[in-house]
Amino acid sequence: MSQYFNEMFDGASVRPPYSTLEHWAREMSADLRSLKQSEAEALFRRIGITFAVYGEGGDPDRLIPFDMFPRVFSAGEWRKLEAGVKQRARALNAFLADVYGRGEIVKAGRIPAHLVYKNAAYEKAAVGFMPPLGVFSHIVGIDLVRTGPEDFFVLEDNCRTPSGVSYMLENREIMMRMFPHLFQESRIAPVEAYPNLLKRTFASVAPQKCDRDPTIVILTPGHFNSAYYEHSFLADMMGVELVEGQDLFVSGDFCYMRTTEGPKKVDVIYRRLDDDFIDPLCFRPDSMLGVPGLMNVYRSGGVTICSAPGAGVADDKAIYTYVPEMVRFYLGEEPILANVPTWQCAKADDCKYVLENLKDLVVKEVHGSGGYGMLVGPKSTKEEIEIFRHKIEDRPDNYIAQPTLALSTCPTFVEDGVAPRHVDLRPYCLVGKDVELVPGGLTRVALTEGSLVVNSSQGGGVKDTWVMAE
């Protein structure tokens, strides 16, 4: 018996949300399967969805493997997830509004001041300015893993510009084209409203100075960026312009884009580039990607930037530990979704425990990302563990540790049939006038047997994610 929770099987019986699929997969011949698989690949290539998940790098013309076996949630499971994700997104935004305003949570001693204010993602330039509706992070991507029927854990929050949502939409589009009968037989909640909701979210945070239908644009670092496809896809789906920094300029109180009909005022900018590059007059002076003067227009209320500069302080690994505390502090509620238990090496007791149990733990650098500076205890050699022991003893405050999670598995098409593979989930929560979550998300799957790493750069693939309608 596997130690991992299998999302399809409960012992020998098939769990209800998967009943149609179990039958479907069992009936599918190997020939049909490979035919469909190559059809899917051709479709992905045709629409040009070549894409590397942001920060993972890699060949921009590469396809991420698509697994046709959907991942399914029952309506009941989703209700809980939805409530939990929305709660977390609200708390993270309340935190951001607070730490760039009065800093009540710090004054109340619920989170250490230095973790927030000394943080590299804390933007001095954002202090004292309240963006429209007090929203800083308009798209919150919450990375979740499951370890049991009722056990969901938040692995990470993404408050800046979480990527991958184009996969959520394209995966569904392709599944509907290839297997229409599955959608007739099961009642699967649609995700296609996402671009409209996204546009509505942006429109709701237009600056007060905007007295007409707001003009929304997506700001991309350019067509060499690995996520360019997603930027152009979203712009197209929302019916808004995809601009580069050079297409925008600042004049007087506003920001304009260069069009064939002359300057056109821009009200909301969904930027897909990091804070550092937004405006060379405020951040990195050598940035050619941004718009000189944009931060001044933003801070004087002439344009809204989504996500707000400085939003990144909420998704820092050191801050992560305190998100449940944020939920309690700002919302007066108990957190619905649990954090992965985290030991902070900065605390003496925690550090002692971590050093004693290195072989069972995952140790991460506080400010690291993309799997760098990480120790996966059970997969490391004695030497590697000893090297890390010294690192932690040297600078305990630079490390946190978490248990190695038993990620759930989901049936996945493999060489010779169907086999369980580990999965995670990233739903995309929209925060504007309303807080909304389309029923679905991006399911990443580790295609290598036994692997717990779902990153596309390390052999990960993606799946369509179904939520059964009520």
Partner 1 sequence: MLSRTASNLYWIARYMERAETSARLLEVGARNALMPNIGGGMRNEWESVLNAHGTLNAFLDKYGDPVQRNVETFLFFDRENPSSIASCISAARENARIVRTALTTQMWDAINTAFQEVREMERTERSALPLSDLVEWTLRVCALVRGTIDATLLRNDGYHFLQLGYFIERADNTARLLDVKYYVLLPQVSMVGSGLDNFQWGTLLRALSAHRAFNWAYGGEITARKIADFLILNRQCPRSIYSCVSGITDHLDAVARGYGKSSAAQTQSRAMLAELAEMRVDHIFDEGMHEFLSRVIGDVNRLGFAVHDTYLSGDIK
Partner 2 sequence: MKLQVRHKTTYRFDPPTRSMVQSLRLTPSAFEGQQINAWDITCDAGDCPVETGSSFTEGAGDHIMTVSVRGEVTEFTVTVTGEVETSDCSGVVKGLRDKVPPLAYLRQTTASWPNAVLKDLARDTLIDLGTAGVLQQAHALSKATSDALDFLPGETEASTSAAEAIGIGKGVCQDFTHVLIGMARASDIPARYVTGYLLSGSDGSAHEASHAWAELYVAGLGWVGFDAANECCPDERYIRLGSGFDAIDAAPIRGISVGEVDQEMLEELLVDVAVTQMQQ
* Residue 430 buriedness (CB in 10 A; 0-12 / 13-18 / 19+): buried
Least distance between partner 2 and beta carbon 309 (Å):
12
Taking a C-beta distance cutoff of 8 angstroms, is the pair 237, 187 a contact?
no
Q: At what angle do helices 194-204 and 228-238 cross, to 10 degrees?
A: 80
Site for partner 1 in 37-56 (CB under 8 A): 46-48
Least distance between partner 2 and beta carbon 394 (Å):
17
Helix (H, G, I), strand (E, B) or coil at 399: strand
Least distance between partner 2 and beta carbon 248 (Å):
11
Q: How many CA atoms lie within 13 A of 164 on its CB side?
A: 28
Torsion angle of C-alpha atoms 305, 311, 315, 318, degrees rounded to 10: 160
Residue 190 contacts partner 2 per CB under 8 A: no
Contacted by 233, from partner 1, partner 2, none: CB < 5 to 8 Å by type: partner 1
Residue 217 CA to residue 215 CA, distance in Å, equals 7
Beta-bridge partners for 4: none
Residue 253 contacts partner 1 per CB under 8 A: no
Q: How many CA atoms lie within 13 A of 444 on its CB side?
A: 25
Applying CB under 8 A, which part among 5-13, 18-26, 285-293, 428-436 lies near partner 2?
285-293
Token digits for 294?
């944009």
Taking a C-beta distance cutoff of 8 angstroms, is the pair 269, 306 a contact?
yes
Least distance between partner 1 and beta carbon 60 (Å):
10
Residue 37 CA to residue 461 CA, distance in Å, equals 13
Residue 257 contacts partner 2 per CB under 8 A: no
**DSSP category for residue 206:** -
Residue 177 contacts partner 1 per CB under 8 A: no
Residue 323 CA to residue 470 CA, distance in Å, equals 30
Residue 259 contacts partner 1 per CB under 8 A: yes
Backbone angles phi, psi at 66, to 5 degrees: -110, 125
Q: Exactly one of 102, 223, 359, 367 binds partner 1 (CB under 8 A); which one?
A: 223
Least distance between partner 1 and beta carbon 232 (Å):
5
Least distance between partner 1 and beta carbon 265 (Å):
13
Residue 190 contacts partner 1 per CB under 8 A: no
Q: Exactly one of 13, 184, 260, 381 binds partner 1 (CB under 8 A); which one?
A: 260
261-290 mask for partner 1 (x: CB under 8 A)? xxx---------------------------
Least distance between partner 1 and beta carbon 461 (Å):
24
Contacted by 369, from partner 2, partner 1, none: CB < 5 to 8 Å by type: none
* Pair type for strands 13-14 and 9-10: antiparallel
Kindly provide the b/e burial profile for residues 236-248, where b requires at least 16 CB atoms within 10 angstroms of the residue's own CB.
ebbebbbbbbebb
Q: Exactly one of 120, 181, 211, 212 binds partner 2 (CB under 8 A); which one?
A: 120
Q: Exactly one of 126, 243, 278, 362 binds partner 2 (CB under 8 A); which one?
A: 126
Contacted by 223, from partner 2, partner 1, none: CB < 5 to 8 Å by type: partner 1
Contacted by 183, from partner 1, partner 2, none: CB < 5 to 8 Å by type: none
Token digits for 410?
């989901």
Is residue 23 within a helix (H) or strand (E), and if so which, with residue range?
Answer: helix 19-27
Interaction site with partner 1 (CB under 8 A):
46-48, 223, 232-233, 235-236, 241-244, 246-247, 251, 257-263
Interaction site with partner 2 (CB under 8 A):
100-101, 103, 106, 113-114, 116-118, 120, 122, 124-129, 249-254, 280-282, 285, 292-293, 296-297, 299-302
